[in-house]
Amino acid sequence: MKLFNRVAIIGVGEIGGSIGKDLKARGLAKEIIGIGRRRSSLIKARTAGAVDKDFLVDRIGNGVKDADLIILATPVGRMAELGKKAALSAKEGAIMTDVGSTKGMIVRSLEKILPEKVRFVGSHPMAGSEKGGPLSARLDLFEGRDCFITRTKNTDEEALEIVKKFWKRLGANTIEVTLAEHDRIVAKISQMVHLVASCLIIANKDVLRYAASGFRDTTRIALSDPVLWRDICLTNNKNIARSLDELIVILRKFRNAILKEKAAHIERMLGKARELRRTLG
């Protein structure tokens, strides 16, 4: 059963493209519009079967016209600007959501600048890879994955339920959180992890040629788009800094135990880490 007549996706990379492919495969939208900066990306998105029609971002108004749902799937640094432009041509009662990895700055900015006719609900699916681009889009990317949905004092209840239903129909498990909860959680389980991978690469640049599978697997996410991750760092800087501080404390404990040859202490820390890791399955 269709949820929407028209869905406009602004940004047709891996996440936006995967949403489009899933919407089509599951019959959830009559028409899917892709909006992007580069014609080459839009052509790839159409070739991949992610969108039915496409518009360059300078014609964003044509793309979002009559859309029931508008999805911001660009780097977080551009979401507020493009959301504001899209809202100018959005129909009365349109719902806008996003897939941004940070929420506080984005949601507060959009709630201030969007007109009343557009109902905004922040969301963030915990899915994707380091590859990016429309050719990385795939069906069932969100199947079984968690998707955070943010509620604020300004959130429209009907729009909130529709956004939840949208993600559930794509196979995701929705988790309702506050802006602060979201940004604290993802700073720990996603953003700090990316920075650690990047630091491992830089710290070992002189011996990378000898890196085996363990090192390669651990640092795979360092291949992600630097511009995208720069914006993530800048829009959640305090939470990321706190998470790094917590990690530094643990690293110092390991360092001191190793230097002082405290075998039992090292074993306890490694054992605790192994037991905690087992809880992830």
As a whole number of angstroms, the distance between CA 181 and CA 8 comes to: 28
pTM: 0.92
Mean of the pLDDT values across residues 210-225? Answer: 94
The amino acid present at 54, given as its one-letter code, is D
What pLDDT does residue 223 have?
A: 93
What pLDDT does residue 2 have?
A: 74
As a whole number of angstroms, the distance between CA 132 and CA 199 comes to: 21
Per-residue pLDDT reduced to its tens digit, 64-116: 999 999 999 999 999 999 999 999 999 999 999 999 999 999 999 999 999 99
- In this structure, are strands 146-150 and 123-125 parallel, antiparallel, or unpaired? antiparallel
What pLDDT does residue 1 have?
A: 60
> How would you list the strands of the sheet with 53-56, edge to edge?
53-56, 29-36, 4-10, 69-72, 95-98, 119-121
| ∠ Cα 240 76 223 (to 5°) | 70
As a whole number of angstroms, the distance between CA 56 and CA 35 comes to: 6
**pLDDT at residue 197 greater than cutoff 90:** yes
Where does CATH 1.10.3660.10 sit in the chain? Answer: 182-278
Could you please state the CATH topology (level 3) that the domain comprising 4-177 is classified under: Rossmann fold (3.40.50)
What pLDDT does residue 138 have?
A: 87
Going along the chain, which residue ranges are E strands? 4-10, 29-36, 53-56, 69-72, 95-98, 119-121, 123-125, 146-150, 173-177
Where does CATH 3.40.50.720 sit in the chain? Answer: 4-177
Per-residue pLDDT reduced to its tens digit, 3-61: 899 999 999 999 999 999 999 999 999 999 999 999 999 999 898 899 999 999 999 99
219-249: buried (b, 16+ CB within 10 Å) or exposed (e) per residue?
Answer: bebbebeeeebebbbebbeebbeebbeeeee
Classify 126 as helix, strand or coil: coil
Rounded to the nearest integer, the mean pLDDT of the chain is 95
What pLDDT does residue 243 have?
A: 97
**pLDDT at residue 132 greater than cutoff 80:** no
Contacting residues for 49 by C-beta, under 8 A, at least 6 apart: 20, 21, 24
Mean of the pLDDT values across residues 187-198? Answer: 97
Q: How confident is the model at residue 126 (pLDDT cuts 50, 70, 90)?
A: very high
The amino acid present at 135, given as its one-letter code, is L
Q: How confident is the model at residue 130 (pLDDT cuts 50, 70, 90)?
A: confident
Classify 70 as helix, strand or coil: strand
What pLDDT does residue 281 have?
A: 83
**pLDDT at residue 149 greater than cutoff 70:** yes
Mean of the pLDDT values across residues 233-254? Answer: 97
As a whole number of angstroms, the distance between CA 12 and CA 33 comes to: 10
**pLDDT at residue 131 greater than cutoff 80:** no
Q: What tokens appear for 130 in the block?
A: 């380091």
CATH superfamily of the 182-278 domain: 6-phosphogluconate dehydrogenase C-terminal like domain (1.10.3660.10)
Q: What percent of the chain has pLDDT over 90?
A: 91
Per-residue pLDDT reduced to its tens digit, 63-73: 999 999 999 99
